[in-house]
Chains A and B, each alone.
Chain A
Amino acid sequence: MTHDNTTITSNQQDNLENDQTLQYFTGIRQQEPETSVAITAIRTLIDVINRSSAGTMSQLSRELKSAVILLTTQTDSSMPSVKSGCELFLRFITLAKFDTFEIDECRQKLIERGEVFLERTLSSRQRIAEYSQEFIVDGSIILTHSYSRVVLALLAYASKFSRFKVYVTESEPDKSGLQMREELEAIGIPSICILDASVAYIMEKVTLVLMGAEAVVESGGIINKIGTFNIAIAAHEMNKPFYVASESFKFVRYYPLNNCDLPDHFKYKASTIARSNGKNLESEHPLVDYTPPAYITLLFTDIGTLTPSAVSDELIKLYI
């Protein structure tokens, strides 16, 4: 009996902690919508370390891993971003070496390192904007898709130096393109919202295509809001450069071969998967697609302007 009791209490405690983790995550998502999902996930993990009562490092790392699983299965946020952010953060933790075996000190070190990592990732958007500035010249007509904070920051920075016009796709199913257009107008960049279906129509007018990404995969391709692949194909056909702006914490160690190959938790919301109850998801609309590297001209990242083939190089250097 006693044994059973302890199991129940530890289960309850787990549940309580899980709730706290999820609450913290959704809290940030609601209060600071401009923070990217990956950064929110990293902050949540730091919070987990903060709250943890773990007595050993391995217990702490187990707690972190279960928090990652929680974030990737229980929230409705963009899965590829959460996954890449968490993976890099865990990698960063495992790279740490300690002079002491005192768990509290170790935890303090981890939190410090985590904060530094966060600080560094927060500055990456500005750096991307600086690197890519020379690619946006006076009179450019830019096509972008959906809502992307990096693209927004990049265009805001570029608008100080050159004049250009932006076409934004409406981007069904959540119409996030409308928000993008509003924010561009607020900065003072002339922008027009177009239908997703008119991408090919508009392409002949466009000088360059500029995209964000939810994740950059090992092949150098990207996973992004559904419709990105269509635009990439149209741009390729009409010989327009297709640029991707993405922070390096979105690099993820994953090598999809085609769009069918993408795992379900990338393509659908966690709630959709739960609702379908393991049944066929074919009738659901996927939320992201995979654009192969052959369609991408260059990637603007905070570690420099990269060709798609350079991405796997960077990932290998990190995980080797």
Chain B
Amino acid sequence: MARLPTDVETEIDRFCNDIKRNTYTRSADLALATIFMFKKLIGESKWSNASELITLIRSQAHRLNQGQPVDSITFNITRRILKLIRDVSVRIIHGKNEGSDISLTLQAVLNDRAATSTFNDDDNENIEENLQPKTQQIRTNLPDSSAINNVEGEVSVQRLKPELMDDLNWYSSDIELSVKNLSQQALAHIHANELILTLGYSYTVEQFFKYAASKNRKFHVFILEHAPFFTGHKMAVNLSALNIPVTVVTDSAVFAIMARVNKILIGTRSLLANGGLTAKSGTYNLALAAKHYNVPLLVCAPTYKFSPTYLPSFDPVMCNTFPSPENILSYESIYQSSLDIVVPMHDYVPPELVTLIIGSGMGNAPSYVYRIVSELYSAEDNDLERLQKESLK
């Protein structure tokens, strides 16, 4: 593996430390920091063509994701950037951007060259590179078939870098605007005199309410306080500053108040490929109560939270975080040494319980998420979490 320049190393270390210290309060900040760091990595380390760059980024991926779950924003951004590199490569070679996302489809199975391709460096990875446009795909026996398969090997640093940097800049401005774009849909979802329930604090949801209130929509918000972190209190303070009527409710009262609620609006930590969520602990209870009363559950999720992973069984080690139990029992307490306290941060909510996902563009059913995910990321990069698991062993 190529060595990285010292200041890139320092940058990566700082990024990892920032994540450990929870410096990024908003998820968009984390997303932007990740892109910033990748810009530095791409701009300052040594690589001569696109496939070298892809190998380099893939080798750093699990290091960047240290201490984070497998469905993290860092991984999503990494995958998205890898996809951008692949797309730019195809664009440079073929002059247009078509047929680049067909690598893992039935079509590719039927493609004769896919089977004989020798592109991949890993032996156990059979997902062949398959980037040529469809018209060429169905032609047989091109003399230079290996060259076409190995599109990334051909794209030199001089041609790739400027275009890629343009795309990255565009990508980060897209993320900056994502919450704004998302919140502008508020009037379509929040109607007059509705009673809306939310859980804890979420910047995205706050902006969503803020936009609706700024357009003089009258509505009432119930907020579950989200013990033991009590971020719901912050949400209540922020919303009442905007003159939105607010009621704070304890988490345990979720079922009791559900019958009165018109709809539920929550944020999420990540959105999985099957349409399920990993969200704040307590969301599963909320979703089950909502199902019982058939209250619609809307989830605000900007595009960078879409993750191509499936959570097989909710594995608390890979997919959850356990912060300090200080909030529940103070360190001075005499019981501290004799008690075990577990504070899981997240819940998995299966897709059956979710009504609608409000993305940056428009609302989508959970069953449609796999489609968005397959457009956002390249299937070859879905194995990042496997690499992370292996690095832990």
CA gap between A145 and B386 in the complex, in Å: 29
Least Cβ distance of B146 to chain A in Å?
15
Residues of A within 8 A of B247 (CB): none
Residues of A within 8 A of B126 (CB): 123, 126-127, 130
B104, B140, B275, B386 — which one has the most chain A CB atoms within 10 A of its CB?
B140
**Is A103 positioned at the interface, with any CB of B under 8 Å from its CB?**
no
Residues of A within 8 A of B110 (CB): 88, 91-92, 95, 117, 318
Would you list which residues of chain B between 35 and 59 have a CB under 8 Å from chain A? Answer: none
Residues of A within 8 A of B374 (CB): 310
Least Cβ distance of B344 to chain A in Å?
18
CA gap between A248 and B104 in the complex, in Å: 11
**Is A27 positioned at the interface, with any CB of B under 8 Å from its CB?**
no
Least Cβ distance of A245 to chain B in Å?
14
Would you list which residues of chain B between 374 and 393 have a CB under 8 Å from chain A? Answer: 374, 379, 382, 386, 389
Task: Return the chain A residue nearest B128 by Cβ.
Answer: A120
* Interface locus among B7-15, B72-80, B253-261, B309-317: B309-317
A97, A123, A126, A309 — which one has the most chain B CB atoms within 10 A of its CB?
A309
Q: Which of A109, A119, A297, A314 is B106 in contact with, Cβ under 8 Å?
A: A314
CA gap between A313 and B369 in the complex, in Å: 13
Residues of A within 8 A of B127 (CB): 127
**Is A190 positioned at the interface, with any CB of B under 8 Å from its CB?**
no
**Is A144 positioned at the interface, with any CB of B under 8 Å from its CB?**
no
**Is B22 positioned at the interface, with any CB of A under 8 Å from its CB?**
no
Residues of A within 8 A of B368 (CB): 309
Would you list which residues of chain A between 115 and 147 have a CB under 8 Å from chain B? Answer: 116-117, 119-121, 123-124, 126-127, 130, 134-135, 137
Q: What is the 8 Å Cβ interface bit string for chain B, positions 303-327, against chain A (1 contact, 0 not)?
A: 0000000101101000000000000
Beyond A113-B112, A130-B124, A137-B313, whether A303 also contacts B370 by CB under 8 A is no
Q: Is the CB of B106 within 8 A of A315?
A: yes
CA gap between A92 and B313 in the complex, in Å: 38
CA gap between A249 and B275 in the complex, in Å: 26
Q: Which of B105, B312, B371, B386 is A303 in contact with, Cβ under 8 Å?
A: B105
**Is B250 positioned at the interface, with any CB of A under 8 Å from its CB?**
no
CA gap between A310 and B273 in the complex, in Å: 11
Q: What is the 8 Å Cβ interface bit string for chain B, positions 124-137, against chain A (1 contact, 0 not)?
A: 10110000000000
Task: Return the chain A residue nearest B124 by Cβ.
Answer: A130
Least Cβ distance of A162 to chain B in Å?
11
**Is B115 positioned at the interface, with any CB of A under 8 Å from its CB?**
yes
Residues of B within 8 A of A91 (CB): 110
Beyond A304-B379, A306-B370, whether A95 also contacts B138 by CB under 8 A is yes
Tier of interface size on chain A: 35 or more
Q: Is the CB of A96 within 8 A of B274?
A: no
Residues of A within 8 A of B273 (CB): 305, 307
CA gap between A314 and B109 in the complex, in Å: 11
Would you list which residues of chain A between 224 and 244 have a CB under 8 Å from chain B? Answer: 241
**Is A251 positioned at the interface, with any CB of B under 8 Å from its CB?**
yes
CA gap between A306 and B112 in the complex, in Å: 23
Beyond A113-B112, A134-B386, whether A307 also contacts B367 by CB under 8 A is yes
**Is A154 positioned at the interface, with any CB of B under 8 Å from its CB?**
no
CA gap between A135 and B307 in the complex, in Å: 17
Q: Is the CB of B367 within 8 A of A304?
A: no
**Across the A-B interface, the 3 shortest Cβ-Cβ residue pairs:** A120-B115, A135-B312, A318-B106
Given contacts A113-B112, A251-B106, list 8 more A-B pairs with CB under 8 A.
Answer: A98-B140, A116-B116, A134-B389, A303-B105, A304-B379, A307-B275, A317-B102, A317-B106
Residues of B whose CB lies within 8 Å of any CB of A are 102, 104-110, 112, 114-116, 124, 126-127, 138-141, 273-275, 310, 312-313, 315, 367-368, 370-371, 374, 379, 382, 386, 389
23 residue pairs from A and B, CB less than 8 Å apart: A91-B110, A92-B110, A97-B138, A97-B139, A116-B116, A117-B112, A120-B115, A126-B126, A127-B126, A135-B312, A241-B313, A251-B106, A297-B274, A298-B310, A303-B105, A304-B379, A304-B382, A305-B273, A307-B370, A309-B367, A310-B370, A310-B374, A313-B371
